[in-house]
Structure 1
Amino acid sequence: MKYAEMTAVELKNISREETLVILPIAAVEQHGPHMPTGTDDIICTAVAEKVEERLKEKIVLLPTLWLGASQHHLRWGATLTSRVENYETLLCEICESLLKDGFRRVMILNGHGGNIGPMQIALRRLQVDFPNCQLLAASYWSIAEEEIASVMQGDCKTVGHACEAETSLIMYLRPELVRSARVENFDDYAPDVVDGVYVCRDMFQRTSAGATGRPDLASAEKGDKMFSQIVKRVSDVIGHLTEEPLSNYP
């Protein structure tokens, strides 16, 4: 079920106890010299829509929130962003609209690394006023971590930024948007965790071209395999979560 395609009457008749409302969130920002600025939005929306097809009777899918918390990309340009504190509040207000409408199960499905902190804090804020609701948040890659790693060839086995994984996924989903002549090895990026310590640096400080990892190893075939495995894993996990009794949230 897609929220934006339904009438108010149809939405009113949906079970508030059994239905999980999913808010996909992404970003529009620079993705190196070879990838479109809408990369995160394209991938997250595609995953969310395929999951909705599989779980049509269990979930209501909101339109993807394309704006993200991307201030750490601003020095590269070609980036649209909300300030972190504003983004937190925006997520709270969207979810609060649903919770005040009686929905008791809400999930944020994320497609951009910069959104992780804000989405988690937003749910912490909401939980104070809605303790008897199932409030969930996850990035698609954290749910399908093993599935993604099994397809990757480079040393980095997770989703980075305009990396092997993201480039493969866009090669599969929107191949015409990848500037193949600009694809390189961008494995010279600085990590954001060193010896267990989080080091706060923006992407201008961490990368030489605004991209990470080994997009030169990417392919549409990898993207096809990765996408199908991500959709299956995310669908399985969300399907299981919809069966969790709300009595677990007294």
Structure 2
Amino acid sequence: MKYAEMTAVELKNVSRDETLVILPIAAVEQHGPHMPTATDEIICTAVAEQVEQRLKESLLLLPTLWLGASQHHLRWGATLTTRVENYETLLCEICETILNDGFRRVLILNGHGGNIAPMQISLRRLQVQYRNCQLMAASYWSIAEAEIAALMEGECKTVGHACEAETSLVMHLRPELVRESKIENFDDYALDLVDGVYLCNDMYQRTQKGATGRPDLASAGKGEQMFSVICDRVVEVLQRLGHAPLPTLDGGFAEG
């Protein structure tokens, strides 16, 4: 079910306890010399829509929030953003409208690394008021971490920024938007986690050209395989979590 394509009457008849509401969130920001600024939105929306097609009886898909927390990309330009604290509040307010309408299962499905901390904090803020609701958040790559790693050829086996994984996925989903002549080996980026310590540097400090990893190893075929295993894994996880018992105010669980 797609929220934006339904009428108010149709939405009123959707089960509040049993339906899992998905809010896809992404970003529009610079993605190096070879990738479109909408990379995160393209991938996250495609995953969310494929999952909705397979779980449409039990899943209600909200429109993708394309605006992300991208202040750490601003020095590269070609980036749209909101302040982190504003983004946290925006996520809270969107989810509140769903929760106040009676829905009790909400998942934020993320497609941009800069959104991870804000989405988790947002759920912490919401949980104080909605203790009897199932509040969840995940990046598509964290759900399918092992499956993605198995397809990566470069030394880095995780999703980075305009990297082997993202480039392959967009080559599959929107090949006309990839500037293949501009693809290079961008494996000279600085890590943001060293010996368990998080280093808070922006992307201008971390990369030479605004991209990371080995997009030179990307291909549309790899992207097709990756998209398939990501969607399979997300569907598998949501089928399980979407039917889990709902939390109760006394700390136990009630059947959904």
Whether the TM-score (by the shorter chain) exceeds 0.5 is yes
Alpha-carbon distance in structure 2 between the residues aligned to 1:47 and 1:111: 9
Q: Which residue of 1 aligns with 2:232?
A: 232
String of CA shifts for 1:164-214, please: whole Å, max 9, x gaps. 000000000000000000000000000001111000000000000000000
Query: Which runs of 5 or more residues in structure 2 are unaligned?
Result: none
Amino acid at match of 1:223: G
In the alignment of these two chains, the number of paired residues is 250
The equivalent residue for 1:200 is: 200
Whole-angstrom CA distance in 2 between matches of 1:246 and 1:194: 38
Kindly provide the amino acid, as one letter, of the partner of residue 92 in structure 1. Answer: C
**Structure 1 residues 109-131: Cα deviation after superposition (integer angstroms, max 9, x where no partner):** 00000000000000000000000
TM-score by length of 2: 0.97
Secondary structure at the aligned position of 1:129 is classed as: coil
Runs of 4+ in 1 over 6 A off after TM superposition: none
Deviations 1:22-58 (A, max 9, x none): 0000000000000000000000000000000010011
Provide the C-alpha distance between the structure 1 equivalents of 2:219 and 2:98, rounded to a whole number of angstroms: 39
State the AA in 2 paired with 1:217. L
Match of 2:18 in 1: 18
- State the distance in 2 between where 1:59 and 1:44 align: 16
Counterpart position of 1:123 = 123
The one-letter amino acid of 2:211's match is: A
Secondary structure of 2:148's counterpart equals: helix
Equivalent-residue separation in structure 2 for 1:106 and 1:112 (angstroms)? 18
In 1, Cα distance between the equivalents of 2:247 and 2:203? 43
| Corresponding letter in the other structure for 1:211 | A
2:51 match: 51
Which residue does 1:88 correspond to in 2? 88
Q: What is the Cα-based RMSD across aligned positions, in Å?
A: 0.7
How far residue 98 of structure 1 moved from its aligned partner, in angstroms, is 0.4
Question: 1:1-250 maps to which residues of 2 (within 5 A)?
Answer: 1-247=1-247, 250=252
When residues 30 and 247 of structure 1 are mapped into structure 2, their CA distance, relative to the original with a 3 A threshold, is closer
Q: Which amino acid in structure 2 is aligned with residue 153 of structure 1?
A: E
Q: TM-score, normalised by structure 1?
A: 0.99
- What is the Cα deviation at residue 247 of structure 1? 4.5
Indicate if the aligned counterparts of 2:134 and 2:247 stay in contact, CA closer than 8 A: no
Aligned-residue sequence identity (percent) comes to: 78
Aligned counterparts of 1:15 and 1:58: Cα–Cα separation in 2: 9
Q: 2: CA distance between counterparts of 1:4 and 1:205?
A: 39
> For residues 54 and 209 of structure 1, what CA distance do their matches in structure 2 show?
38
Q: Conserved in 1, the CA contact under 8 Å of 2:161 and 2:212?
A: yes
Q: Structure 1 residue 246: deviation in Å?
A: 1.1
Post-superposition offset of 1:232:
0.4
Is the 2:133–2:247 Cα contact (8 Å) retained in structure 1?
Answer: no
Listed one character per residue, the Cα deviations across residues 73-107 of structure 1 (whole Å, up to 9, x for unaligned) are: 00000000010000000000000000000000000
